[in-house]
């Protein structure tokens, strides 16, 4: 399988590990670029104290030589700086383990209760350590490899936040790279400055009340040729893959492509993007309600995917729960956490979409050696531009 990856690591354990198999050989892989994405994931108004402790940096330990990928599995690690404060609680060995910080009251909305039952764990810390969104740092590092592969083909992945709590951003023009130039410096990753101010206020208000807030982010992929993905089978449909990938991010409760759920209430003529042709632009659309996907394939317009993140379930004013030891009612477990992590989730969303698009590109253009892939892509682009749709 192309671009197959796995992550390992507990939130307060020694570190995170990722292994990626099926990356083509010959790709110049920059660690600085991976670290830049890791730094972007750490941003956002509403993050908790942990982000002041960590400075996430990837160390590549396999699959790269002299700056180029070898085609062999790539392994990388990210150290948890906080580990030194948890080395007893999270001790790998039985020797030196301390039994403090045991968790017995599950948080509504978190993996604690079902996870402990499923794996027969009497300390819910053993669940929450892996269920923590800390794991997404490893995914962002993997996504940064996919992003560097995609950029070889002129494909770029961006994100922005469109809603936090009750505050929605005005619709932005996101069809060009320039639209996203200032997004990393927005405290909430929002392109609408006025909405960004209100979003910050929404987060501050939630913090004051011991609450948490969720929101919606959008991922936009620019530079894709038509025909990436496939209509010929369910698993080949790129929309399904992207939806599944976004839904696999902790706390994501909904995913949509293009105008998604809003399309359901409109009649067909108000939904579908009419087709135009000109010598200069080839086939093109004047609207993009489909979000760049038709029949599970790219159609040459920007790919637009959105995901909804629920409010983080760890709250300083906890909800009612039950102590699993005594069986008696008790306030849910409290743990240091974020009030809002939607801006960070948007960066994770970029990574997840980048991985799916990279995999589909490798299926279309071959995946052993970057040089072969680039030649196949070039031939395809020429055919698309000159004699599309016929061969």
Site for ligand EPS in 252-311 (CB under 6 A): none
Q: Which of 3, 10, 11, 257 binds ligand EPS (CB under 6 A)?
A: 11
Q: Which of 74, 314, 353, 356 binds ligand EPS (CB under 6 A)?
A: 314
Question: From CA 75, how far away is CA 64, in angstroms rounded?
Answer: 9
Q: Is 18 in the site for ligand EPS (CB under 6 A)?
A: no
Q: Which of 38, 133, 195, 238 binds ligand EPS (CB under 6 A)?
A: 133
Q: Is 211 in the site for ligand EPS (CB under 6 A)?
A: no
Question: From CA 164, how far away is CA 270, in angstroms rounded?
Answer: 28
Question: From CA 55, how far away is CA 39, in angstroms rounded?
Answer: 7
The torsion angles phi and psi of 35, rounded to 5 degrees, stand at: -70, -30
Q: Which among 222, 390, 380 has a CA at the least distance from the CA of 298?
A: 222
Question: From CA 220, how far away is CA 176, in angstroms rounded?
Answer: 10
**Three-state secondary structure call for residue 165:** coil
Q: Is 137 in the site for ligand EPS (CB under 6 A)?
A: yes
Q: Which residues contact 366 (CB under 8 A, 6 or more apart)?
A: 372, 373, 376
Q: Which stretch binds ligand EPS (CB under 6 A): 62-70, 164-172, 228-236, 336-344?
A: 336-344
Question: From CA 314, how far away is CA 288, in angstroms rounded?
Answer: 38
Question: From CA 277, how far away is CA 309, in angstroms rounded?
Answer: 38
The torsion angles phi and psi of 244, rounded to 5 degrees, stand at: -65, -40
Phi-psi map region of 277: left, alpha, beta (phi>0 left; psi -120 to 50 alpha): beta
**Three-state secondary structure call for residue 270:** helix
Q: Which of 35, 148, 321, 337 binds ligand EPS (CB under 6 A)?
A: 337
Neighbours of 63 (CB within 10 A): 20
Q: Which stretch binds ligand EPS (CB under 6 A): 97-105, 129-137, 232-240, 259-267?
A: 129-137
Question: From CA 334, how far away is CA 326, in angstroms rounded?
Answer: 18
Q: Going residue by residue from 232 to 251, which x/- string records binding to ligand EPS, judged by CB under 6 A? A: --------------------
Q: Which of 45, 134, 306, 333 binds ligand EPS (CB under 6 A)?
A: 134
Q: Which of 312, 324, 360, 362 binds ligand EPS (CB under 6 A)?
A: 312
Question: From CA 182, how far away is CA 192, in angstroms rounded?
Answer: 11
Q: Is 38 in the site for ligand EPS (CB under 6 A)?
A: no
Q: How far is the CB of 16 from ligand EPS (least distance, A)?
A: 9
**CB nearer ligand EPS, residue 289 or residue 334:** 334
Q: How far is the CB of 213 from ligand EPS (least distance, A)?
A: 12
182's tokens: 């200032």
Structure letter (DSSP) for residue 369: B
**CB nearer ligand EPS, residue 1 or residue 114:** 114
Total residues contacting ligand EPS by CB under 6 A comes to 15
Q: How far is the CB of 168 from ligand EPS (least distance, A)?
A: 23
Q: Which stretch binds ligand EPS (CB under 6 A): 128-136, 202-210, 288-296, 358-366?
A: 128-136
Q: Is 40 in the site for ligand EPS (CB under 6 A)?
A: no
Q: Which stretch binds ligand EPS (CB under 6 A): 57-65, 132-140, 360-368, 378-386?
A: 132-140
Q: Is 186 in the site for ligand EPS (CB under 6 A)?
A: no
Residues in contact with ligand EPS by the rule CB under 6 A? 11, 48, 50, 82, 132-134, 137, 312, 314, 335-338, 341
């Amino acid at each position: 399988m192309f671009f197959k990856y796995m992550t390992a690591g507990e939130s307060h354990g020694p570190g995170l590990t990722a292994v990626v198999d099926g990356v083509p050989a010959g790709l110049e892989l920059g660690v600085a670029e991976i670290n830049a994405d890791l730094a972007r994931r750490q941003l956002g108004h509403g993050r908790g104290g942990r982000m002041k402790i960590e400075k996430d940096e990837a160390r590549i330990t396999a699959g790269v030589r002299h700056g180029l990928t070898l085609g062999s599995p790539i392994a990388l690690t990210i150290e948890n700086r906080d580990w030194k404060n948890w080395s007893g609680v999270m001790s790998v060995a039985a020797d030196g383990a301390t039994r403090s910080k045991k968790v017995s009251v599950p948080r509504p909305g978190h993996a604690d209760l079902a996870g402990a039952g499923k794996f027969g764990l009497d300390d819910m810390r053993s669940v929450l350590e892996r269920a923590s969104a800390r794991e997404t740092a490893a995914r962002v590092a993997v996504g940064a490899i996919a992003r560097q592969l995609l950029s070889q083909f002129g494909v770029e992945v961006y994100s922005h936040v469109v809603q936090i709590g009750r505050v929605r951003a005005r619709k932005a023009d996101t069809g060009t790279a320039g639209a996203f130039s200032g997004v990393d410096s927005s405290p909430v990753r929002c392109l609408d400055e006025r909405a960004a101010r209100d979003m910050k206020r929404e987060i501050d208000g939630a913090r004051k009340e011991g609450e948490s807030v969720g929101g919606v982010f959008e991922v936009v992929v620019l530079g894709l040729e038509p025909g990436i993905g496939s209509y010929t089978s369910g698993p080949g449909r790129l929309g399904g893959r992207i939806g599944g990938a976004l839904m696999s991010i902790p706390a994501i409760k909904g995913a949509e492509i293009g105008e998604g759920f809003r399309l359901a209430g409109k009649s067909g003529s108000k939904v579908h993007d009419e087709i135009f042709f000109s010598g200069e632009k080839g086939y093109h659309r004047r609207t993009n309600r489909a979000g760049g996907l038709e029949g599970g394939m790219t159609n040459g317009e920007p790919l637009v995917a959105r995901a909804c993140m629920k409010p983080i379930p760890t709250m300083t004013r906890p909800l009612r729960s039950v102590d699993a030891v005594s069986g008696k009612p008790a306030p849910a477990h409290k743990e240091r956490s974020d009030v809002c992590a939607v801006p960070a989730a948007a960066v994770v969303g970029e990574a997840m979409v980048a991985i799916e698009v990279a995999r589909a590109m490798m299926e279309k253009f071959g995946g052993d050696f970057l040089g072969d892939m680039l030649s196949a892509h070039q031939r395809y682009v020429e055919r698309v531009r000159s004699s599309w749709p016929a061969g």
